[in-house]
A and B are shown apart, each in its own frame.
Chain A
Amino acid sequence: MSNRTIPAYDETLSRVREVLGELLGDGPKSAGEDQPLTEALGDRYDSLAALECVSRVENAFGIEVDFVAHDVRYSFATLRRIAEFVRGELEDRAVLENRA
């Protein structure tokens, strides 16, 4: 059995804010969880910034985003979607580890 604990949504969201804040300054810290990041951060949240966020989130949570299977543009559009995406990936990984 896997001993991994999936963090609660609020904990995940808080960590996402922290990780993105290290990258983009205080914008992600004050953004609403459903506010589009393009609105909260303006044109600073362009395609390259989204890629950088993907990279940071991967490192922080130990997951890997599959650009073919996942709709990155959708999943990384708001803080809530990022947090839900991360939790989904962690849950999938836990299921796979339990099967192994």
Chain B
Amino acid sequence: MNACVTDRPVLEAEIPFDTSGHTGEPVRWWRTPEQLRAEVELLVATVVGEVGQVVTLAPPGHLFGRLFGVELPALKGIEVHSAWQDPVTPPTWRPGVPALFVCLPASWVALRSLAPRIAELPRAVALHSAGPTTPHTRQLVGALRGHPFRAVELFGSTETGAVASREIAADARDEQPWRLLPDVHADLPAEPAERRLTVSSPRLARRDGHDAPPASWQMGDLVRPAGERQFTFVGRASRLIKVNGLRCDLGRVEQTVAAALPGLDAVCLPVRDAVRGEHYELVCADPAGSLDATSLWPLLRRALGGTPLPRSLRRVPRIPRSATGKPLTHLLTAPAATAATAGE
């Protein structure tokens, strides 16, 4: 069945949001206007406070950008300055009006240059979502210490909406645990054992083809309980990463590359990315020597379609593997040394 065709009539005004899904096939999730409004009101009441303008650096096609760049301004009747189309050009806003900045991982590089202007605002809040914060985030938070500025990170997904939040500290060592939002329930027992985070709330989305939202949803994140309604993020339960908010299943990328380029042995390595938060490197061995970097990029682009391309491509003489064929990725994690070995 095509995952984007619904068996059930869509309720009037339901809004679709697409994810890449865990199998790589697109999945559509529907949200009611009431759910969107509830999420905006909840976060305004608990996290954002009253603001008079929104500066959005997140595209409105994704839930986060839609909620705070479209729904919140409409609900509150406030102006919105859209700057998500061009992350290189610093956004502008109206001086003297409390502002909400809607930020993705890549937003902070340019935003930190605007610290003096943000400091002049009577109040400012930056909401961050869709991937980990970056050193640039903390740089701006540090530069605005002592000013009426707060930076808050949201934890959530297209399927669940926002689940938890925490203040962003200027120093990574002061990282706080995540606190569940008031309408979210999660099983977080006292013992601090790692577990997949499973949540329920009135804001879970309805999967295309289903009659109703699920009663609960198991997220792809491993967490460790950290006190009453709090947890710390341990890592992802799968090889799913987010490249500036776009999901990318590294196992799926490897399968796709193997099918499209037989003879090429390729492994994806996740890397921290100062701008996008997370990214990946494709390490490949081409025993036949038939492919050079110039010819590989167009082939990869064609094979991967809408999936984010690797940040870089590294050729090695061979991919070291265990007796069972599993790639020994710890032997591939020194790009400079390996690239030198490969003569690049």
Band of interface residues on B: 20 to 34
* Distance of B140 from chain A, by nearest CB (Å): 12
A22 cross-chain contacts in B, Cβ below 8 A = 312, 335-336
Instruction: List the A side residues contacting B344 at CB < 8 Å.
Output: 26
Contact with A along B61-85 (1 / 0, CB 8 A): 0000000000000000000000000
Task: From known contacts A25-B293, A26-B344, infer whether A67 and B276 are also in contact, taking CB-CB under 8 Å.
Answer: no
Partner-contacting stretch, out of B26-34, B46-54, B106-114, B250-258: B106-114
Extra pairs beyond A25-B312, A51-B87, A51-B275 (8, CB < 8 Å): A23-B312, A25-B313, A44-B297, A47-B86, A51-B110, A52-B275, A65-B113, A72-B110
Find out whether the CB atom of B336 lies under 8 angstroms from the CB atom of A54.
no
> Can you show 5 pairs from A to B with CB atoms below 8 A apart?
A24-B312, A25-B312, A51-B106, A51-B110, A54-B109
How far is A76 from B113 in the complex, measured between Cα atoms in Å?
Answer: 17
User: What 0/1 pattern do residues 44 to 62 of A give for CB contact below 8 A with B?
Assistant: 1001101110111001000
Residue A100 interfacial (CB < 8 Å): no
Shortest Cβ gap from A58 to chain B (Å):
9
Which residues of A pack against B, CB within 8 Å? 22-27, 42-44, 47-48, 50-52, 54-56, 59, 65-69, 72-73
Task: Kindly provide the distance from the CB of A57 to the nearest chain B CB, expressed in whole angstroms.
Answer: 11
**Residue from B89, B113, B312, B314 within 8 A of A66 (CB atoms):** B113
Cβ contacts under 8 Å, B106 to chain A: 48, 51
Please, what's the 1-or-0 string for B105-127, where 1 marks a CB less than 8 Å from any CB in chain A?
Answer: 01001100110000000000000
Q: Total number of A-B contacts with CB less than 8 angstroms? A: 63
B117: nearest chain-A partner, CB-CB: A68
Q: Are B88 and A47 in contact (CB under 8 A)?
A: yes
CB distance from B264 to the nearest CB of A (A): 15
Q: Which residue of A lies closest to B85 (CB)?
A: A47
Choice from A24, A26, A51 contacting B109 with Cβ under 8 Å = A51
A54 to chain B, nearest CB (A): 6
Report which of A26, A43, A68, A73 forms a contact with B114, defined as CB distance below 8 A.
A68
Docked pose: A68 CA to B112 CA in angstroms: 10
Interface membership of chain B positions 317-344, coded 1 if the CB is closer than 8 angstroms to chain A and 0 otherwise: 0000000000000000001100000001
- Within 8 Å by CB of A23, from B89, B113, B311, lies B311
Main secondary structure of the interface of A (DSSP, over half): helix
Which residues of B are found within 8 Å of A66, using beta-carbon distances? 113
Cross-chain contact A67 with B88 (CB below 8 angstroms): yes
Is the CB–CB distance between A48 and B90 below 8 Å? no
Contact in complex: B297, A42 (CB < 8 Å): yes
Q: Are A55 and B109 in contact (CB under 8 A)?
A: yes
A52 and B336 contacting across the interface, CB-CB below 8 Å: no
- Measured CA separation A75–B217 after assembly (Å): 47
- In the complex, whether B241 has a CB less than 8 A from a CB of chain A is no
Min CB–CB distance B288 → chain A (angstroms): 19
| Neighbouring A residues of B87 by C-beta, 8 Å | 47-48, 51
Pick the contact of B293 from A26, A48, A54, A68 — CB < 8 Å? A26
- Complex contacts, A52 vs chain B, CB 8 Å: 273-276, 311
Q: Closest A residue to B90 by CB, please name it.
A: A67
The yes or no answer to B244 lying at the interface (CB within 8 A) is yes
Interface 0/1 of B85-98, CB less than 8 Å to A:
01111100000000
CB distance from B309 to the nearest CB of A (A): 6
- A68 CA to B89 CA, complexed, in Å: 8
